[in-house]
Structure formats: structure tokens, C-alpha cells
Amino acid sequence: MNHILIIGAGRSANACIQYLLKAAKEHGWSVTVADADLETATRKVAGHPNGRGVYLDASKTPERQGLISRADVVISLLPPHMHVEVAYDCIQLKKHLITASYVSKDIYKLSDEFRNKELIFMGEMGLDPGIDHMSAMQKIDEIKAKGGKITSFCSNAGGMIALENLKQNPWRYKFTWNPRNVVKAGQGTAQYLENGKFKYIPYNRLFKEYKLIEIPGYDEPFEVYANRDSLLYREAYGLDDIPTLSRGTIRYRGFCDAWNALVQIGLTDGTYPIMDSDKITYHELMEAFLSKPGRTGASVKERVAEMLGESEFSPVMKKLDWLGLFSKKKIGIPNATPALILEELLLEKWKLAPKDKDLILMQHEFEYVLEGKKYHLTSTMALKGVDAEDTAMSRLVGLPLGIFAKFLMTKQIVATGVNIPVTRKIYEPVLEELKEYGVVFHEKEVELKD
């Protein structure tokens, strides 16, 4: 094997591309980076002798298959809904496929076809999902190996910005990954286990019912809202009979209450277009979401505050005002849904400045019983980016993809079918190499007293 194809050169691709170009020089491989923006693909290859950037409209099957046919391993950084088409191509053309996205039901149905062709589809090989699976399974296997029985597992992760770069931003948040996914975050119903009972939090309550956690090295607690997918991993993690299992997203204090306000107003809804959205102002949009007249003489801002149960100058309202939601500026986007209007506004307000450093936090908390004693184990990882180009998010999404691709190309890892990285033969070598890039988990264990 000597040719790797990376489809997609977006913000999460940088570290993967640079890692594989370095490996390609060492092993004599070639790396093709394909993207709908040729300039971006070419710039990220940066004239490397073992790489090239090419144009690709991934929705066009002949062009996509033409590139895939010349590769041995394909890494797809396309939107998740496009992975199925790429997977069919890889089966037909006998190519291995790696992604950082959640593995869908449609992909799992292809497991036998990948296995029969002696191919692997490795999904969820990024940060979250990805490093979370591998680091969690490493500790789960260690606890089980010494005879411990795990009674509680809570895993939380979040991509944020280093506090020193947020002095003028009351949200204390900027985009480090797909903005659309941030706007859509939490839609659906979060499901988890607590003391042997199923718990469900619908979207309209999700950002109100957050919890606080402490992370070593930080002076203030962080907020965590529940992920939708906690229950999916009981079987994959070998924790079918565990009483408490939850996964969540970490944010700085104050974020969830303000995001809940956007949800309650209706600004995260992507199901219908706003009439004449290109002609109206943000102020007029906010007024349109007010169904009650309010007290005489009250401003739109005051009425929104009343609707939300806030004072006009509360921290939540200051965040909404800072976004420009009460300004007389025209929206300027035709036939836009509320969610698209919000996304475009946030793209302007939450854009990384060139020297901004992002921050990734991940923390696993285990409770387990061993020889009649109860223990609490915390395993924490923090990684800060260098600047807006060399982000921690790009590293932690891209490096696992690149490392696994290298192991696949050199046949250090051999597997077939549809997989996620929860087996020792996969997570051990990947986590070991990730240590070289600062991905280190620090542990603290205490015995719990009744």
C-alpha cells in the first residue's frame, strides 16, 4: 500500500494532513488531499513532495470514485451523511475507509460487505468520538483486569477557548469545529442511566438541566449538558449492567443559561424559513418571536427579557445583546431558517482571531468496587492549541485518523468489518503515540468511605 486519499480539507484536517505527509516522506507514500476548495487543499499540502491538492465535488460520483480507485486507504472528513456513499465506493473498489464521525445504522449494515472484502471501516476515530472511547476503554479494561466492578462511569469533553483569549467575549466561547453542529447541538432527547434508572432530557430542557463539575487545575467549576448518545455505549464498553452511565459536553460557566435563551426564543430551529429574511433587521426578527404584547412602552429587548424571565441587564441578556440580536442591522440572507440566521451571526461574533488558543478538556470519572472497597477514579486530559490554524481541536480530531492510517498502511493493525476504537489492539498503539503530542491523562484515585 502506498497511496492515501484525504477527502475534505476543512478546519479539522490540518493535523491529519501534516502527520501523513511526514509519514509519507518516511515510507515513500503519496497523499492526495481533495476538497471543493482547490486553493485550501493546495495550501494545506504546501508543496510537499509526497502530496498534492486536488479539486473534488464529493457529490459527483464519477469524480469521487476516480480518486478513490487510485488510493489504498481513504480518510473521509466529509459531512457524516456523505460517508455512506463513500463507503459503497470503497467496498466496490476494495479500499479501506477511516472517519472521525459517529457510525450510523446504515454504515453498520455494511459490516459484512467490508469483512467479506477483507476491508476495514474504522469510524469514530477522532476526538469525541474517538479519544474518549480509547482512553475510557483503557481504564475500563484495567479496572476489570484487577477484578474491579464498575458501578458508575461519567465521561465529559468540550472544545473551548483559553480564558486569556476571551476577555471581550461574554459567552466565553468561539468556534473551533463545525459551526452548524454547534447550533444543532443537543437537538433530540438526551438519554442516560442514573442509579439503575433511565433518564431522559428533551431538548427544550437540556440547557436548563446542566450540572457542574470540577476539573483539576481550574479555579471555577464547568458546566456539563448531557449528550444524546450515552446509552449507545453500554454494550460497546462492556458495561451492560452498570447502574450509572452518562456522557456530556463541557462549557464555561454562564454558557448554558444563555444558550437556553436562544432555544426558548426559537433561534435554533432549522425547520422553516423566515419570510423576507433578507429585508428585515435582527431587531424585527426578535420582535416577530414575541407573541404577547408586553407592558405599554416596553422595548423589544425588555419584552424578550420578560419572556425569558430575565432582567433587562442580566448576564443572559448581555450575551444576547452582545451578539447583535437587538440591532437595526439587516439580516441580509434570503429565505433563511432561524438556525441559519443564528449560525451566520455567530460565525462573525465567534470567529477565532489569528493568535487565539483553543482548549480541549476531557474527563472520565469512574466508581468501582474492588475487594469490598469502593473507589473513585478521575482521569483528566487538557490540551491547548498554538493559534487559530494549529488548534488543539484539529490535532485531536486529525492525529488519531493519521496515526491509525499509518498503522493500517504498515499492517501494524489488521482488522476487517465496521469498527470503532474500543479494542486493546487498536487503542493501545494509538494512545501510546498520542502521548508524543501532549495527549496525556492525569489520574487521581481515592477510596470512598460509607
Assign residue 145 the CATH number of its domain: 3.30.360.10
Q: Is residue 287 part of a domain?
A: yes
Read off the pLDDT band of 128 (50, 70, 90).
Answer: confident
Q: How many domains does the chain have?
A: 3
Q: Is residue 242 part of a domain?
A: yes
pLDDT of amino acid 229: 78
Statement to judge: residues 158 and 138 lie in one domain:
yes
Residue 294: is its pLDDT beyond 70? no
Statement to judge: residues 288 and 178 lie in one domain:
no
Q: Are 366 and 444 in contact (CB under 8 A)?
A: no
Helix or strand (DSSP H, E) at 43? helix 38-45
For residue 253, the cross-strand partners are none
Read off the pLDDT band of 210 (50, 70, 90).
Answer: very high
Residue 306: is its pLDDT beyond 70? yes
pLDDT of amino acid 249: 95
pTM to 2 decimals? 0.91
Q: What is the pLDDT of residues 392-424, one digit of tens each?
A: 999 999 999 999 999 999 999 989 999 999 999
Count of Cβ atoms closer than 10 Å to residue 188 Cβ:
13
Statement to judge: residues 98 and 33 lie in one domain:
yes
Residue 164: is its pLDDT beyond 90? no
Segment 278-290 shows an average pLDDT of 95
Statement to judge: residues 118 and 135 lie in one domain:
no
Q: Is residue 208 part of a domain?
A: yes
Of all residues in the chain, what percent carry a pLDDT higher than 90?
85
Q: Is residue 395 part of a domain?
A: no
Is 1 or 69 the better-scoring residue by pLDDT?
Answer: 69
Statement to judge: residues 108 and 201 lie in one domain:
no
Q: What is the pLDDT of residues 20-54, one digit of tens each?
A: 999 999 999 999 999 999 999 999 999 999 999 99
Taking all residues of the chain, what is their mean pLDDT, rounded to a whole number?
Answer: 93
- Picking from 99, 123, 147, the residue at the C-terminal end of a domain is 123
Assign residue 20 the CATH number of its domain: 3.40.50.720
Statement to judge: residues 27 and 141 lie in one domain:
no
- Cα dist from 99 to 42, 65, 77, 122, 160, whole Å: 21, 17, 6, 6, 23
Q: Is residue 346 part of a domain?
A: no
DSSP annotation string for 96-142: EEEESSPPPHHHHTTHHHHHHTT-EEE-S-BBTTBHHHHHHHHHHHH
Statement to judge: residues 25 and 59 lie in one domain:
yes
Statement to judge: residues 332 and 359 lie in one domain:
no
pLDDT of amino acid 259: 96
Among 107-116, 143-152, 174-183, 251-260, the minimum mean pLDDT is found in 174-183
Q: Is residue 84 part of a domain?
A: yes
pLDDT of amino acid 33: 96
For residue 373, the cross-strand partners are 370
Q: What is the pLDDT of residues 338-379, one digit of tens each?
A: 999 999 999 999 999 999 999 999 999 999 999 999 999 999
Residue 297: is its pLDDT beyond 80? no
Q: Is residue 410 part of a domain?
A: no
Helix or strand (DSSP H, E) at 375? strand 373-384
Amino acid letter for position 125: M
Domain span at 73: 3-123
Is 98 or 175 the better-scoring residue by pLDDT?
Answer: 98
pLDDT of amino acid 80: 86
pLDDT of amino acid 70: 95
